[in-house]
Amino acid sequence: MSLLKKIETLGEPVPSKCAPEKLIAGDPDFLTWALDESAAKGPVRTGIWQATPGENHSIKGETFEFCHLLDGVIELTEQGQPPRIFRKGDSFVMKPGYRGVWKTIETVRKIYVIVG
């Protein structure tokens, strides 16, 4: 088995909604394309995620997440910090313990790598 995997196609996304206890405003729709099905339940998960406008609590717990925005505009407000805007082409990391608010201003699509 090769440890190098080329992503040939995204396939069908898995639709979901924001958990009611995390929702602040709007009614965002989420789509997730898991890019490494074999690692879906493992310590490292990769994929593409899309969200329509809305606002929700973002709590990382023990996980580390790297994100690269392919499309859209978001505002992240880390607890106790001023809001920050991220746009198409931007990358950022949310480290373990991160707590804040994720506001999707324009439909966003991101590549993610989650560890933890």
> How many domains does the chain contain in total?
1
pLDDT of residue 41: 66
Is residue 94, in this structure, part of any structural domain at all? yes
Burial class (CB in 10 A: 0-12, 13-18, 19+), 56: buried
DSSP string for residues in 29-83 = EEEEEES-GGGTTSSEEEEEEEE-SEEEEEE-TT-EEEEEEEEEEEEEEETTS--
Is residue 3, in this structure, part of any structural domain at all? no
Range of the domain at 23: 14-115
pTM recorded for the entire structure: 0.90
Is residue 91, in this structure, part of any structural domain at all? yes
Is residue 7, in this structure, part of any structural domain at all? no
Is residue 2, in this structure, part of any structural domain at all? no
pLDDT tens, per residue, the chain with 116 residues: 687 877 766 789 999 999 999 999 999 999 999 887 665 567 888 999 999 999 999 999 999 999 999 999 999 999 999 999 999 999 999 999 999 999 999 999 999 999 98
Is residue 9, in this structure, part of any structural domain at all? no
CATH number for position 19? 2.60.120.10
